A and B are shown apart, each in its own frame.
Chain A
Amino acid sequence: MTLYDLYLISPQLAVASTGILVILLDLVFQRKGFLPYAAFAGLLVSLTFLVIQSVDLAGAVNLVDAVDSGAAGVLAGSLAVDRFSLFFNYLVLAALGLVTLASVDYVRRIERFRGEYFGLLLFSATGMMLLASATELITIYISLELTTLPLAALSAFLMTSKSSEAGMKFLIIGAISSAVMLYGMALIYGFTGSTQLDEIAVVVTSAAALDLPFGGYALLVGVVLMLVGFGFKISSVPFQMWVPDIYEGAPAPVVAFLSVASKAAAVAVLIRVLFTGFFPIALDWASLITVLAAASMTLGNLAAMGQSNIRRLFGYSTIAHAGYILVGIAAGVRTSGSVTGGPEFVSLGLNSVLFYLAAYAAANLTAFFAIIAVSQRTGSDLIEDYGGLVRRAPFLAVALTLALVALIGVPPTSIFIAKLVIFSAAVKSGLVWLAILGVINSVVSAYYYVRIVRVMFLEPPQEQEASGISPVAWFALTVSGVAMIGIGIAPGFVLRAAEIAVGALML
């Protein structure tokens, strides 16, 4: 382990050590108000390292391979510090920073465990950032667990019955899915003799794969079992059972973080595993992804229609959005009409996924920050209690309306461009039916999103309530809102970043 190795994981280390530091500070000091700002400062340190790495990366593809001595560093093969991982690290950090600020008001109701709250958030973020860089199965597994376990604890943090139920469900379903995933990884290791994605890719490509006891199918079983673990994290059908309960019961900022960052990190690792490790058998898994995408979009949207609790509704909506994201992943492979007869890589598909994640992060965080602020005022998450919000808190209502309009995919918001790119990619990859299904699903989703807008603008106002929102929470809401509209009006920068990030996968 050299200093250079430490430098490679410095952003993750910074976040993790901030987590430890925050817990220690919580023990030492009586006044806890500064803890979120301490956590935020730690994020800035991590951000600094990320920027340094980005600059350092100028010419190289992967900093881990850039060690000039003949002997590769200890991290070689297990981690990649490339444009792809940096894209996700920035995304996770941005989400974590905003969620930290939005939690300032919220943590007052968990007086005793503030340090642990932020500590666990930071640990989970460490896992996500590692997940985005991991290129080796065991590293992936560890990172995934590091992501999931703190989130399970955080879900139960309110110590109400719903919150405890949420934490328990998350823990158990998470454990089951990661056990299945581990079994898949074991199978793959058994068949290929390696846990490193690049070496697996070599075996999968070579004819040796055909000499396996069950041929390509054996590998495919391993891939499918791994998909269970990833599917759980990105909340796609049929691994979505936990979503509504956790969205309803867990602390709202945790849900916001979960829906955005955790999903992004899981998508990152899904893309890296499928596209760098198993691309030669893409013809098989791509069709599976297609089916998951169609099912997630449709079931998520249909189930969201009947919800009366706004957070439950968002739980189902996030399942639907996982479906749209899977459309993009499926569109990364052109399965028909290719010259070679094998799968053909379509970079537009993955570009669209990365862009979608950023766009969705901005929109969903805006929505959740508004929901947090409203529940701070009313103490309720029922849609009917949003009645007349436009009279009581006009700016909150407008912000939430914009976020809902964005989630439908109406211009000029971030997700409009994102859906446009995703469906473009699908059409380009010959998945026209999936694009049309996605568009129809967007129309269906308009129904339940607009219903919330209707309540806010048309229903008579509820009783006035006192408790206000701190400027910091307003700041978080404003930043995410501006990002949401900004990405919609001038998407060029994020699109370019997504293109560069996908370019680093070198396919």
Chain B
Amino acid sequence: MDTGFSGLLTATVFLPAAGAVFILLLVRGDRNIRVVAAMVAVADLVLTLLVFGLFSRGDDAARFQFIDQFTWIPGETLRANYLLGVDGLSAPLVALTGILGLCAVLASWRIETRVREHFVWLLVLQTAVMGVFSSLDLLLFFLFWELELVPMYMLISIWGTGRKEYSAMKFLMFTILGSAFMLVAIVAVFLTPDVGTFDMRALSTQGTMLGAGVLLPLGALFWLFFIGFAIKLPVWPLHTWLPDAHTNAPTAASVMLAGVLLKMGGYGLLRINVGMFPAQAQQFAWALVTLGVISVLYGAVVTLRQTDLKRLIAYSSVSHMGLVLVGIGSIGVTHGALTSAGLNGAAMQLFTHGTITGLLFLGAGLVYDKTHTRYIPDLGGLAGRMPLVAAGLLIAGFASLGLPGLSGFVSEVLVFLGAFRAYPWPTALAVFGIVLAAGYILWMMERAFFGVRRDRFADISDASLIEALPMAILVITIVGVGIYPSILTDVFEFGLSPIVALIPVGLP
């Protein structure tokens, strides 16, 4: 297995945190703080694009690359490594974090209260998420997973709106509860007599070696991990923290929350639940698909009833993240060869939903900033007043409902292609969720942006350059991936094909 220390990933992960410390201690003046934070975010984006661009796509693409490793905790008791590395599954997600990290910093430009703290927390959050996507040691993974809690709690509870403290606490308690289950599972895996390692590469390639002398049944481990990730994703019925957190979070926090934090759950499901417990994943695929379809439909139906712009987007996230589960459930194929289409769709959905929902929240945040309301019936005719924002939201909306040529289409098609072979009827039901998506997106657009122009919005300005910039970045990503999806699907394939190879075919 690869060892060594290339340093690129370490720099990528810790640059934002270093920037945060720099801002905390040395930068004076709100304006300077914003500029430094933006520079750090740009630099980190460049690093993540380097990771993505330099990722070897040759014959050896299916391995972990840019390994940074040294012994973290020596001795017999814990034996953990500082071990970073990316494969085809995580490299695009690292890039996604870089993109959305910059967008979140730019979206915070207008923050006036406690500016320093805001950017410090935002940058620490970025380090935590990057760390989750690039850790290959379970203990380190868990460390970064928990590190994300405090910044997010602060971002929601200080700069949020409405019942912000309640929402922040709810977010915190749900996530801690989920990670508690995960921790038990991590410990049990490590203590299994034949394992004794936190190295996720070894745990994944050995996959089935977890058979002998387990402390807990493998099925139990699978579900312990699942609960942790399902709360984050979120999966019905563990989703109730999400609408509250999103509705009351400031724009930048919403972008990070929907854009990358939810993806940590999906990533964990793919990397750990499928990658380390392939047999159990296949055995319980029916349950994943069932929960996924319920999430898709329930989320979509509830979304239709929402009157708060951000709450609407939040519930649509529940629906769209349900598709990730449906895609993962595709491994429950009982006859015929298993292809990676479903898993690839699930991974694609993580990326595309990150950009699309990020864009939706940026737009919604701007609408709220200008009109001071998120209540959809109060809005109307905004397209004429703020054409840029309307255009951005329209593109995000179309991508969200799966319009061909935009990124959302690719992931949805792949998910359905994969899942239909395994579970035709549930998949057909999930497709219905897309129909509903068209309904709530178009209805929302019609009520908020078209229709009667209201006089009290007469003097509303459109997005300024600094506000339009993050939207432009995301629009380019969405259109780019929509037109040339294989830039991502090929890379995801490198990461997912070894995982697919682990799954036993022909089980009952």
B173 near A: Cβ within 8 Å?
Answer: yes
B188 near A: Cβ within 8 Å?
Answer: yes
Interface of chain A residues 319 through 354 with chain B (CB within 8 A): 348, 351-352
Query: In the complex, A411→B190 CA distance in Å?
Result: 18
Contact between chains at A405 and B75 (CB < 8 Å): no
A130 near B: Cβ within 8 Å?
Answer: no
Query: In the complex, A424→B73 CA distance in Å?
Result: 15
Query: In the complex, A420→B188 CA distance in Å?
Result: 11
Contact between chains at B184 and A439 (CB < 8 Å): yes
B61 near A: Cβ within 8 Å?
Answer: no
Query: Which chain A residues border B173 with CB–CB below 8 Å?
Result: 443, 446-447
Contact between chains at B216 and A432 (CB < 8 Å): yes
Interface of chain B residues 142 through 176 with chain A (CB within 8 A): 142-143, 146-147, 149-150, 153-154, 157-158, 165, 169, 172-173, 176
B429 near A: Cβ within 8 Å?
Answer: no
Contact between chains at B165 and A427 (CB < 8 Å): no
Known: A424-B191, A492-B74. Contact between A454 and B165, CB under 8 A?
Answer: yes
Other-chain contact of A499, B77, B147, B150 (Cβ < 8 Å): B77
Contact between chains at A450 and B153 (CB < 8 Å): yes
Query: Which chain B residues border A443 with CB–CB below 8 Å?
Result: 173, 176-177, 180
Query: Which chain B residues border A435 with CB–CB below 8 Å?
Result: 184, 187
Question: Considering residues B149, B157, B172, B184, which has the most beta carbons from chain A within 10 angstroms of its beta carbon?
Answer: B184
Other-chain contact of A457, B76, B157, B183, B190 (Cβ < 8 Å): B157
Interface of chain A residues 391 through 428 with chain B (CB within 8 A): 401, 405, 408, 410-412, 416-417, 420-421, 423-424, 427-428
Query: In the complex, A424→B187 CA distance in Å?
Result: 6
Contact between chains at B157 and A458 (CB < 8 Å): yes
Contact between chains at B146 and A411 (CB < 8 Å): yes
The minimal Cβ–Cβ distance linking A313 to chain B, given in whole angstroms, is: 17
B78 near A: Cβ within 8 Å?
Answer: yes
B72 near A: Cβ within 8 Å?
Answer: yes
Query: In the complex, A264→B497 CA distance in Å?
Result: 52
A6 near B: Cβ within 8 Å?
Answer: no
Query: Which chain B residues border A351 with CB–CB below 8 Å?
Result: 77
B215 near A: Cβ within 8 Å?
Answer: yes
Contact between chains at B180 and A442 (CB < 8 Å): yes
Query: Which chain B residues border A355 with CB–CB below 8 Å?
Result: 77
Contact between chains at B150 and A421 (CB < 8 Å): no
Contact between chains at A499 and B75 (CB < 8 Å): yes
Contact between chains at A499 and B76 (CB < 8 Å): yes
Query: In the complex, A450→B157 CA distance in Å?
Result: 12
Query: In the complex, A491→B169 CA distance in Å?
Result: 30
Other-chain contact of B142, A411, A447, A454, A491 (Cβ < 8 Å): A411
Question: Considering residues B72, B180, B190, B215, which has the most beta carbons from chain A within 10 angstroms of its beta carbon?
Answer: B180
Contact between chains at A423 and B183 (CB < 8 Å): yes
Contact between chains at A495 and B149 (CB < 8 Å): no
Other-chain contact of A427, B153, B180, B215 (Cβ < 8 Å): B215
Contact between chains at A495 and B180 (CB < 8 Å): no
Query: Which chain B residues border A348 with CB–CB below 8 Å?
Result: 77
Contact between chains at A492 and B191 (CB < 8 Å): no
A496 near B: Cβ within 8 Å?
Answer: yes
A440 near B: Cβ within 8 Å?
Answer: yes
Query: In the complex, A458→B169 CA distance in Å?
Result: 13
Query: In the complex, A408→B179 CA distance in Å?
Result: 13
The minimal Cβ–Cβ distance linking A428 to chain B, given in whole angstroms, is: 5
In the complex, which residue of chain B has the Cβ closest to the Cβ of A405?
B150
Other-chain contact of B172, A401, A411, A450 (Cβ < 8 Å): A450
A436 near B: Cβ within 8 Å?
Answer: yes
Contact between chains at A423 and B187 (CB < 8 Å): yes
A142 near B: Cβ within 8 Å?
Answer: no
Contact between chains at A420 and B187 (CB < 8 Å): yes
Query: Which chain B residues border A390 with CB–CB below 8 Å?
Result: 117
A490 near B: Cβ within 8 Å?
Answer: yes
Query: Which chain B residues border A442 with CB–CB below 8 Å?
Result: 176, 180
Contact between chains at B72 and A490 (CB < 8 Å): yes
Query: In the complex, A107→B35 CA distance in Å?
Result: 47
Contact between chains at B187 and A458 (CB < 8 Å): no
Other-chain contact of A492, B73, B176, B180, B183 (Cβ < 8 Å): B73
Query: In the complex, A440→B177 CA distance in Å?
Result: 7
Other-chain contact of B147, A411, A421, A424, A450 (Cβ < 8 Å): A411
Contact between chains at B176 and A446 (CB < 8 Å): yes
In the complex, which residue of chain A has the Cβ closest to the Cβ of B178?
A443
Query: Which chain B residues border A495 with CB–CB below 8 Å?
Result: 73, 75, 77-78
Query: Which chain B residues border A401 with CB–CB below 8 Å?
Result: 150
Query: Which chain A residues border B77 with CB–CB below 8 Å?
Result: 348, 351-352, 355, 421, 424, 495, 498-499
Query: In the complex, A249→B147 CA distance in Å?
Result: 35
The minimal Cβ–Cβ distance linking B463 to chain A, given in whole angstroms, is: 30
Contact between chains at A424 and B150 (CB < 8 Å): no
Query: Which chain A residues border B187 with CB–CB below 8 Å?
Result: 420, 423-424, 427, 435
Query: In the complex, A390→B180 CA distance in Å?
Result: 29
In the complex, which residue of chain A has the Cβ closest to the Cβ of B177?
A443
Binary contact readout A41-53 vs B (1 if CB under 8 angstroms, 0 otherwise): 0000000000000
Contact between chains at B146 and A410 (CB < 8 Å): yes
Other-chain contact of B180, A405, A411, A421, A439 (Cβ < 8 Å): A439
Query: In the complex, A491→B74 CA distance in Å?
Result: 9
Query: Which chain B residues border A458 with CB–CB below 8 Å?
Result: 157-158, 165
Query: In the complex, A410→B147 CA distance in Å?
Result: 8
The minimal Cβ–Cβ distance linking B125 to chain A, given in whole angstroms, is: 14
Binary contact readout B70-90 vs A (1 if CB under 8 angstroms, 0 otherwise): 011111111000000000000
Query: In the complex, A507→B117 CA distance in Å?
Result: 52
Contact between chains at B143 and A424 (CB < 8 Å): no
Contact between chains at B154 and A457 (CB < 8 Å): yes
Contact between chains at B177 and A424 (CB < 8 Å): no
Contact between chains at A496 and B215 (CB < 8 Å): no
The minimal Cβ–Cβ distance linking B34 to chain A, given in whole angstroms, is: 20
Interface of chain B residues 245 through 294 with chain A (CB within 8 A): none
Query: Which chain B residues border A490 with CB–CB below 8 Å?
Result: 72-73
Other-chain contact of A428, B150, B169, B191 (Cβ < 8 Å): B191
In the complex, which residue of chain A has the Cβ closest to the Cβ of B144?
A411
The minimal Cβ–Cβ distance linking A94 to chain B, given in whole angstroms, is: 21
Contact between chains at A412 and B147 (CB < 8 Å): yes
Contact between chains at B75 and A436 (CB < 8 Å): no
Query: In the complex, A316→B363 CA distance in Å?
Result: 47
Interface of chain A residues 346 through 368 with chain B (CB within 8 A): 348, 351-352, 355
Query: Which chain A residues border B191 with CB–CB below 8 Å?
Result: 424, 427-428
The minimal Cβ–Cβ distance linking B143 to chain A, given in whole angstroms, is: 4
Query: Which chain B residues border A405 with CB–CB below 8 Å?
Result: 150
Query: Which chain A residues border B154 with CB–CB below 8 Å?
Result: 457
In the complex, which residue of chain B has the Cβ closest to the Cβ of A401?
B150
Contact between chains at B143 and A411 (CB < 8 Å): yes
Question: Considering residues A408, A435, A443, A491, which has the most beta carbons from chain B within 10 angstroms of its beta carbon?
Answer: A443
Query: Which chain A residues border B172 with CB–CB below 8 Å?
Result: 446, 450
Query: Which chain B residues border A436 with CB–CB below 8 Å?
Result: 184
Contact between chains at A423 and B184 (CB < 8 Å): yes
Query: Which chain A residues border B143 with CB–CB below 8 Å?
Result: 411-412, 416
Known: A417-B78, A423-B184, A450-B169. Contact between A410 and B150, CB under 8 A?
Answer: yes
Contact between chains at B150 and A420 (CB < 8 Å): no
Other-chain contact of A491, B73, B150, B153 (Cβ < 8 Å): B73
Query: In the complex, A285→B126 CA distance in Å?
Result: 48
Query: In the complex, A61→B211 CA distance in Å?
Result: 40
**Chain B residues near A (Cβ < 8 Å):** 71-78, 117, 139, 142-143, 146-147, 149-150, 153-154, 157-158, 165, 169, 172-173, 176-177, 180-181, 183-184, 187-188, 190-191, 215-216
**Can you spell out 10 A-B residue pairs with CB atoms less than 8 angstroms apart?**
A401-B150, A410-B149, A420-B183, A421-B77, A424-B187, A443-B173, A447-B169, A458-B165, A492-B71, A499-B76
Known pairs A410-B176, A420-B78. 5 more at Cβ < 8 A? Answer: A432-B216, A439-B181, A446-B176, A447-B173, A495-B75
Closest 3 CB pairs of A and B: A411-B143, A439-B180, A424-B187
**Chain A residues near B (Cβ < 8 Å):** 348, 351-352, 355, 390, 401, 405, 408, 410-412, 416-417, 420-421, 423-424, 427-428, 432, 435-436, 439-440, 442-443, 446-447, 450, 454, 457-458, 490-492, 495-496, 498-499
